[in-house]
Amino acid sequence: MIIKKLSATIAAAAIALFSQAFIASAQYKLPEAHDNQHKELLAAQRPIAADIKLINTVKFIEDLRSDDILDNEVFSEYWESQLVNPYTGATIPDTKELDVSSYVSPLENIRVTSNFGYRPRFRRVHKGIDLGLHVGDTVRAAFDGKVRICRYERRGYGYYVVIRHDNGMETVYGHLSKFIAKPNDRVKAGDPIALGGNTGRSTGPHLHFETRYMGIAINPASIIDFENKTPFNGTFTFDRALHDKAQTTTVKKSTKRRVRSTASKSRARRKK
């Protein structure tokens, strides 16, 4: 596809060059008055031709970006999975700069009802942020991307959507009432993807919204100023050690693999 487009562009450029050369050489053989008339006509035409060529080039690059390059890089690896975290076994970088500048609020009206983090009552980490809504409210894609999953999970997310974004992140939208988008749909930030609801493990209508990078949940409120519907910065620095720790607190506690603090070590020694 790229080769076809490229060769078409080269052919068009070659034709343009040849015809210009032909016109230029023909001009010298014409009488002066006629020649000047031609020059004026050509001068008047040139900007129009240049404009058309520019638009074609921009469109060509846009097509290339959306169809080929992005699909190859971000949307091929770990794509064919129905897991919310498909990145098992992947090498996750220590840090990564993520472009979050295209953010659009997933909901029109923002009301944070529950924050990201460890919930002692349930002894687990809440890997997203909860945003109150009315059943049927439009839920929108937070960034440009491609829909990976539209599924139902009775005990958890209810009806949920996972979108992978051009910046390599994934967002999860849970407890929905109806899908608008379907898997493999290309979406722009702000495109409607579903209607909000109260499905799955939910105690009231809300959107459970997660932001992840390579499967690791990031506190959405560290990227996005929800009330003001804008990212804090155009880029967000993913820090694997920091974000990994934030989402596995409970697992480490329950399996007793957590590195003991100096205080608890000395306490343990005293008991012996």
Of the candidate spans 91-99, 191-199, 208-216, 224-232, the one that interacts with Zn ion by CB under 5 A turns out to be 208-216
Examine residue 130 and tell whether it contacts Zn ion (CB under 5 A): yes
Of the candidate spans 81-89, 97-105, 205-213, 262-270, the one that interacts with Zn ion by CB under 5 A turns out to be 205-213
> How many residues in the shown chain lie near Zn ion by CB under 5 A?
3
Asked if 208 and 201 count as a contact pair (C-beta separation under 8 A), the reply is no
Examine residue 166 and tell whether it contacts Zn ion (CB under 5 A): no
Distance CA 173, CA 193 (A): 9
Alpha helices in the chain (DSSP H): 2-27, 32-64, 70-73, 220-223, 240-254, 262-271
Q: Kindly tell me which of 74 and 133 has the beta carbon lying closer to Zn ion.
A: 133
Distance CA 64, CA 140 (A): 25
Q: Which two tokens stand for residue 209?
A: 């919204």
Q: Please list every residue from 10 through 69 that binds Zn ion, using CB under 5 A.
A: none
Q: Kindly tell me which of 102 and 105 has the beta carbon lying closer to Zn ion.
A: 105
Q: Kindly tell me which of 198 and 230 has the beta carbon lying closer to Zn ion.
A: 198
**Rounded to the nearest whole angstrom, what is the least distance from the CB of residue 205 to Zn ion in the complex?**
12
**Rounded to the nearest whole angstrom, what is the least distance from the CB of residue 66 to Zn ion in the complex?**
32
Examine residue 175 and tell whether it contacts Zn ion (CB under 5 A): no
Of the candidate spans 20-28, 124-132, 163-171, 238-246, the one that interacts with Zn ion by CB under 5 A turns out to be 124-132
Distance CA 178, CA 173 (A): 11
Distance CA 84, CA 74 (A): 16
> Looking at 103-144, which runs of residues are DSSP E strands?
112-114, 117-119, 124-126, 129-132, 138-140
Of the candidate spans 15-23, 98-106, 127-135, 159-167, the one that interacts with Zn ion by CB under 5 A turns out to be 127-135
Candidates 208, 216, 219, 236; binder of Zn ion (CB under 5 A) is 208
Angle at which helix 32-64 crosses helix 2-27, to 10 degrees, equals 170
User: Which residues bind to Zn ion, rule: CB under 5 A?
Assistant: 128, 130, 208
